[in-house]
Each structure stands twice: as C-alpha cells, then as structure tokens.
Amino acid sequence: MSFAARQQEALAVWRVFDQPELRRILVGSATCGRAAGSLEVLQAFRDELAQADLEKSTALYEVGCLGMCYAEVLVEIRAQDGRRVLYQGVEPRHVAQLVEQHLVRGEIYWPLALAQMGEGTEELPAFHDLPMIKPQERIVLRNCGFIDPNNIDHYLARGGYSGTARALTMGPDAVIDEMKASGLRGRGGAGFPTGVKWGFARATPAAQKYVICNADEGDPGAFMDRSVLEGDPHAVLEGLLLAGYAIGASIGYVYCRAEYPLAIERLQTAIEQMHNLGFLGDNILGSGFNFSIKVKKGAGAFVCGEETSLMQSIEGKRGMPQSKPPFPAVSGLFGKPTNINNVETLASVSAIMEKGASWYAGFGTEKSRGTKTFALAGKINRTGLVEVPMGINLRTIIEEVGGGVSGGKAFKAVQTGGPSGGCIPARLIDLNVDYESLAEVGSIMGSGGMIVIDEESCMVDMARYFLTFTENESCGKCVPCRMGTQHLLRILTTITAGRGTLADLDSLRKIGDTMKNASLCGLGQTAANPVLTTLQYFEDEYRAHIEDHACPAGACAALIHFTIDPAKCTGCGLCARACPVEAISGEKKEPHLIDQGACICCGSCRQACKFDAVLVS
C-alpha cells in the first residue's frame, strides 16, 4: 500500500474518533495522571457507562498528558452536541454526576469545568486561551493529550510519517541540510546543532552505524521526555528513524530508564505498529532503506544519561563515561559510528521534516530556534509541563504560564537545568530563555527542569540538596567528581548546620573550580554549578549561616525555631494535626504552643497554618 493510501485509511479512523456526533470521553492517563488517580476515574467511567447503558454509544480513551499537572485528573467530555469540555481535578466521586449531567443531558458541570476545546464562550474560555496555555507553542507536545498514543492511525492522521515519506525521496544529505537549516539544537542540554552532529556521523564511513534515542531522563523533577513518550511515542520513533536514515544507520536504540514502565510499554506497542505498517524493517516505503529499533531499559543511574556512559550500558558494561575523543560519531556503540539524540530533539525532528525547516526556524531566536519544553515545578501555582518558544522571558513563564509564586510569597530565584544547572536570581527575571542567555548568567538550559524558589527556600540548603543527589550519582570513576562532590556536600552540610567558617566558602570555590575543569564528564564538570551560582548570587545567605548562625529563609532546621503568634492563632488545631512529633498543644479556639524541646523544626505547622500565625526565627 502506498503511503498516501495508508494516510487515507488513517484519516478515516481519525474521522470516526473526531466526529462530533460521537459521545467521547478522554482521560489524561499518562504517569502523572495515573499518580493523581486517573485509572480509578477511568474505571469509574467504565462502570458508570455500563450502568447507564451508554458503553456502546460512548468512546472512552486514555490519552497522554496536556501538561497541566496542577489540574490532574483532566477529563475531556464531548456529548452529542459536539462541544468538548475539559474538566479538572476529577475524582471517581464526580463521575456519576459528569455522566448524568454532561454526557446524557448535555449540560456543563460547572464546578470542575476548566476550558472548552476549540473556540471558547463567555463563561468558559477556550483551552488555547488559558493563561497557562496561551504563551505556549506546542511542537514537541503537538499530539500529547489529543490522540490515543496506542493508535498509530491517530498519529498518521495528524501528519505523522509524512515527513518520513518526504525524507526518503530527498536523500540523506538533503535531510541533514534541512536539519541544519531548521537551526535545531540538541535538547538534552548541551545544545549542539543537530544537523551538524548528523553530518559528522554520516561522514564516518562504516558498514554498521547506530542511532540512539536518549530517554534516560534523570534530573530530579524533570519529566518532559516521559510525557512525550507516553503521550506520543511515534513522534520520537519517527525522529529516530529519520536520524538513522540521515546518517546511514540500520539499527536504532531507545535507551529508556526502567522507572518509566508505561513509556516502555507505549514504545514497544508503537514499534510493533511501525513494523506492521512497514515503517520499520526492510525496504521502508519502497526506498531500499532498512531500519529496526530496539528498546533498552536503563537501570536508573543518572550518569547513564551521559552519552558515552549510556553506550557502555547498552553494551552490557557498567555505565561509566569514556574520554572524548573519540567522539561517538567516529567510534560509539560497539566501536561503530553512532549518533545520540534526546527524546525532545527527535520529537522536534519529526515535526521539522513534516512541516519544513523554515516553518520551524520561524520560532525562537536567531541562535536558538524552535521551542523548548520545561517541567515547571517548585513554589509555583501552576506546576506542569510547558512548551514555549525559545527567547521567551522568564517572567512570562513564571507569572503567566505558571501563574506566579504560590501562597503569595515573594519570588526569589529560579533554578534551571537540575543538578547540573544553576540559580537565576529574581532580579534577572526578564532574562530571555535561550542557550546563550542562560549560560551568560552561569546556568544552563539543561534538559528542561525549572524549579521556582520563593523567599522561604534557603539557597544553601537547595545547593546541598542537589549535591546530595550528585554525590550519590557520581559514578566514582574520576577523582575530582567522586571526591569533590563528597567534600562539597560535607561543607554545605556543615554550613546549614551553623558550623561553617568563612574559609569554607573559599574551599567551595576551589573544589568547584577543580571539578569544573578537571572532571571527566558532564556530570562532574557541572555538579558544582548549583553551589557556584548560589555563591555568586546569594553569598549573603551563605554568610548569614556562617557569621550570624541564621538561616534567613527559615529553612535550615539547625538554625531556626518556630513559635506561634498568640495574637494571630485562632486555635483551629491544624498545626497540631500537621506536627509529626506532637510538639504542639493547646485548647480548641485558644492560642497553641510549640514545645521547643520536642520540635524538630520541620516547618509542617507553618505550612499548615492558614493565618500566618507560625513564626520562624
């Protein structure tokens, strides 16, 4: 069957899915949705539909993530009027009402209604007009939450694999030129131009070459790759197929961490579908190009996100970085020329081949083209997964997309790039988010973690948190990283405990400098960044810990104590219930008291209090 005919079949399937007359329920059931209870909601819908005898006339689908983590579980319901309404915070207890009121009677259930898909109305805004969504440009996430990820026809119907069909007629060199023209840079963190990288691997003559999709997303709090793999696996696999075609590889690997079982399942399903439809195997679409894809599960080492370690791991060895040169494009997996791209890069590749380089280059800035996804987390109102054009400023992301700092607290800093990244202070909030600007202020784009920090977060403690992570995850091979992370953590722990000295700051800088310049791989070279950037922008906070034995943010347990302001306390008892060590006592409606001897300074009471009655000093 020709590709065009195949596409027609897929469109027919899509039309059934998309026909307005069909009652349809979409439940966001990626891992994030499942964590919020989407499988229970899904079951509740199944039961309810059966009971209402609607199961035959209603289509119920699991879809990927729309990125609005704060609003999970998200359910889109379309009754027979064709109107599609997005509900937030759905729990099983709401299901009967939703079915009865919306699906049967066609009336919106207002308490949970968030948006209307398509055009909005006065009382219910359009999805794309939501403040969180409006500044976004969805290229990587183009299908997430809108299609059934287990159905290749949905992907095909929305333009999928048309880029492949086009590429196969263009020839590998033209594909590489297209990539270069698009300006796409590696989204794994380093930002190396993708087309150039492909060109290197293509230029190395070899009978066997490999392409690898790096899906070993390891930064704490980052889940961009997982969402794409779960919500739109074909977008990534098509990118990998295109990369393989461009460099002349016949085997592709997806190296995905074993902690992502759903992503792995979706990948395996998608690979089987690709084989069935002739997008994998021999002579793909009659082009003479042969390609197959294997999924390799990673065992959860952070360092295996580093490309040379990742390849060692695929080879069955301990994941340990190797010195470069030789670069993977010359000698990579099993000693063969290899190209590695990350999930987001590959999902962009398939979009670029579908819509063209100039379309893609229309987004972003001159040096940083296209879009970037971020996992927005920390002290922010709307946590979630967002995709914004390069060059957007931080303020837009934090204030508009994220809805500002949660709890009305003051914005202090934003941390990008996870354990390898750095902190950007509040005064730089108008910074443009692109590779160059972030590097200029000492941080990195990284793979896309973005943690918002408010006035109650201690920068020293945050640096300590990241060092706890890297100290644990250092592979131990090279001295500066193995020993350096241990010493940084030791010193930071001393400072947060109020036992630091000013000489410690000098030690932190010296060790950090040694790690940056003498470590073997990216992990060690960047592990000191959280320390060095906080030292750069928040040295005062470090000094306060050392000289005044005080934690200005009120976060370091050894340096603070909590009291209750009797004037503000209403005696509601929330704090006493939140206290894990039963250190708070008091009569109902009377001001409560904290037993200082028993208090462990965890701050739970302060968070629980609705009247700002818990004071920290």
Partner 1 sequence: MGSFSLIIDGQTVEVEEGATVLQAARRAGISIPTICDHKDLNPYGACRMCVVEIEGVRGYPTSCTTPAAAGMRVTTQSERLSTLRNRTLELMFSGHPNSCLVCVHREACEQHRPTATKAARSTRCGFCANREECDLRAMALSAGQPELSLPTMYAAYNLERDDPFMDRDYNLCVLCGRCWRICEKIHGKPAISIINRGKWARIGTAFNKSHVFSGCTFCGACIDICPTGTLTDRFARWQGKPEAETGSACILCPQGCAVVAQSKNQRLLAYTMPAFNRDASLCALGRFGAAQMVNSNQRTTRPQVREGEDLIPYDWDAALKAAATGLKEHAGKIAFVISATSSREERYLYAQLATALKGQMHLVPAHALPGDPTLTTIQEAIHGQGALALLMNGPLLGGVEQSRMAFSLVIDALHSDSSEQASVVLPAAMLSENSGTFRSSTGEIRQLSACSQAPGDARAEWRILRDLGQTLGLDGFSYTKVEDITRAMDNAVGEDAAPPAMTGDPRHNVRELITTYRGHQVADIVPALAAFGLPQRSMIQEESTAGSDNGFPILEKKEIVPNMHFFKIQAPQVAKFALPGQFVILMARETSERSPFTLVDWDADTGTISLVIEEVGRSSRELASLRAGDMLAHVSGPLGQAMPVEKRGTVLLGGGCYGVGAIYPLARALKQAGNRVICGIEASSSYLLYMQDELTQVSDQLILATKDGSEGVRGGVQEILVQTAEREQVDQFIAIGCTFMMRMTTELSRGLNIPTLVALNPIMVDGTGMCGACRVSIGGDTLFACIDGPLFDGHAVDWDELASRRSAYAPQEIQALSQGVDLSALMHQAHGPTDTHQCGCGR
CB atoms within 10 A of CB 82: 12
State how beta strands 251-257 and 58-63 pair.
Answer: unpaired
Least spacing, CB of residue 470 vs partner 1, in Å: 8
- Token pair, residue 550, equals 């005080």
Give the span between the Cα atoms of 45 and 30, in whole angstroms.
Answer: 17
Least Cα distance to 376 among 253, 186, 597, 227 occurs for 227
Closest to partner 1 by CB, 322 or 447? 322
Q: Say how far residue 125 (Cα) sits from the centre of its chain.
A: 26
Footprint of partner 1 (CB under 8 A) = 301, 303, 317-318, 320, 322-323, 325, 471-480, 482-487, 490, 507, 510-511, 513-514, 517-520
Give the span between the Cα atoms of 87 and 252, in whole angstroms.
Answer: 39
CB atoms within 10 A of CB 317: 10
Least spacing, CB of residue 514 vs partner 1, in Å: 4
Closest to partner 1 by CB, 453 or 491? 491
Closest to partner 1 by CB, 200 or 611? 200
Least spacing, CB of residue 268 vs partner 1, in Å: 28
Least spacing, CB of residue 517 vs partner 1, in Å: 5
Closest to partner 1 by CB, 168 or 520? 520
Q: Say how far residue 522 (Cα) sits from the centre of its chain.
A: 20
Residues with Cβ within 8 Å of 588's Cβ and at least 6 positions away in sequence, in order, are 571, 573
Closest to partner 1 by CB, 206 or 518? 518
Closest to partner 1 by CB, 299 or 558? 299
CB atoms within 10 A of CB 598: 12
State the Rg of the chain over Cα: 26
CB atoms within 10 A of CB 205: 8
CB atoms within 10 A of CB 283: 10
CA angle at 147 for the pair 300 and 13, rounded to the nearest 5°: 135
Least Cα distance to 302 among 517, 438, 460, 447 occurs for 447
Q: Say how far residue 298 (Cα) sits from the centre of its chain.
A: 18
Least spacing, CB of residue 472 vs partner 1, in Å: 5
Closest to partner 1 by CB, 380 or 521? 521
Closest to partner 1 by CB, 31 or 331? 331
Peptide linkage before 460 cis (omega within 30 of 0) = no
